[in-house]
Amino acid sequence: MSHPFFTYYGPISVNKISELLNTKIDITSNVEITDIKDLSNADQNSLTFLHSNRYKEVAKLTKASYCLTTHLLKDYLPKTCRAIIVENVLIATSIITSKIYPNSIEDEFDANVKNIEQTNFKNNIKYGKNVLIGANVDIGSNCLIGHNTIIEKNVKIGNNCKIGSNTIIRNSFIKNNVSILDNCVIGKKGFGFFPNKINNLRYPHIGIVIINESCEIGCGATIDRGSMSNTEIGKNTFLDNQVHIAHNVKIGENSIIAGQVGIAGSSIIGKNVRIGGQAGISGHLKIGDNADIAGGSGVIKDVPNNTKVMGYPAKNIREFLRENK
């Protein structure tokens, strides 16, 4: 209902959910669900989902009234939240989300863009040749947009931003004083789908990309939007060239990410973190504040606050260097 970008096709009744998922839900009246959200963002009108015991602590605090989950996980939910038992939680989540936000699944190019010269932006922006602007775009004052750049639909850009040339942005909030350099792709759907022998089943991506104040995003970066939550870069965080940030990743403020780093889906990176060139962070990890990850490292488990790691698998840097003299 409150989604900033994707057209809302809700609400949806619990009866309808039951029918779509072919599952029995024990209800007395036909309640309406207004939205589907992750455990921490859900409110009492929302449906949420719990698919792994990795999220059991968050589950205990959810405010959602209904939750797609399994027999094994249902007891982590608070009494205020009714479990809807399904065989595959993520597929069920995907089915319901696709019903509420059907146009969040596919990323067709935006066929409704106009040349910036045909829009009102031509008066208050410095822009290059062949700049294209989609519907539902807002751009603040004192911004630059380079040649051949495409701001597709659903983009809010703050003041004093500099967007380079040949860059594509969609479904994103760009705050003030952000620089995005050349050849980037920001806000496309993430690499998330259910493998299937005939045709992989894409799942919806209703998250957006948020790039906070004073960030810099290097050339050739790709930052995918989230599936059920947002992808977010904290303020004054700088990314070098050819960095890849997958869906649902969150990076804290004042972090420094060197060239060719890749961060896999749903990992949470703290503030003041330094990541050296070509390092890779696996999915669903938590990297603490002030962590320092040496270039080339492959991080496959959580890194505590104030810790330096190196190697593949990454370990305490002193230990790594002692073993590799």
Q: Which of residues 54-113 bind a copy of itself (CB under 8 A)?
A: 106-109, 111, 113
CB atoms within 10 A of CB 20: 14
- Among residues 38 and 152, whose Cβ is nearest to a copy of itself? 152
Q: With binding defined as CB under 8 A, does residue 266 bind a copy of itself?
A: no
Residue from 3, 51, 99, 147 binding a copy of itself (CB under 8 A): 147
- In terms of phi and psi (left: phi > 0; alpha: psi -120 to 50; beta: otherwise), the region of 132 is beta
CB of 220 to a copy of itself, least distance (A): 6
Catalytic residue list contains 3 = no
Q: Which sign, positive or negative, has the C-alpha torsion 153, 188, 1, 141?
A: negative
Residue 171 burial (10 A CB sphere; 0-12, 13-18, 19+): buried
Which residue in 204, 234, 252, 262 binds a copy of itself (CB under 8 A)?
A: 262
The answer to whether residue 115 forms part of the interface with a copy of itself (CB under 8 A) is yes
139 Cβ contact list (under 8 Å, min separation 6): 121, 124, 125, 145, 151, 157, 161
Q: Shortest approach of a copy of itself to residue 75 CB, angstroms?
A: 31
The single residue of 147, 205, 247, 284 carrying the catalytic annotation is 247
- Does 126 participate in binding a copy of itself (rule CB under 8 A)? yes
Per CB under 8 A, which region of 27-35, 63-71, 88-96, 184-192 contacts a copy of itself? 184-192
- Residue listed under structure tokens 């960095």: 243
Of the residues 182, 226, 250, 287, which one makes contact with a copy of itself according to CB under 8 A: 182
Closest by Cα among 53, 47, 109 to 83: 47
Among residues 178, 173, 184, the alpha carbon closest in space to that of 207 is found at 173
Identify which of residues 213 and 232 has a Cβ nearer to a copy of itself in the complex: 213
Task: Decide: is 158 part of the binding site for a copy of itself (CB under 8 A).
Answer: no
DSSP structural state of residue 313: T
Minimum distance, C-beta of residue 139 to a copy of itself, in the bound complex (Å)? 15
Beta carbon of residue 174, minimum distance to a copy of itself (angstroms, whole number): 16
Among 13, 34, 254, 305, binds a copy of itself (CB under 8 A): 254
Convert residues 194-233 into a mask of x (bound to a copy of itself by CB under 8 A) and - (unbound). Answer: -xxxxxx-------------x-x-xxx-x-x---------
CA distances from 131 to 76, 142, 163, 193 (A): 50, 16, 11, 32
The SS3 assignment for 170 reads coil
| Closest C-alpha to 265, from 13, 90, 119 | 90
Residues with a catalytic annotation lie at 247
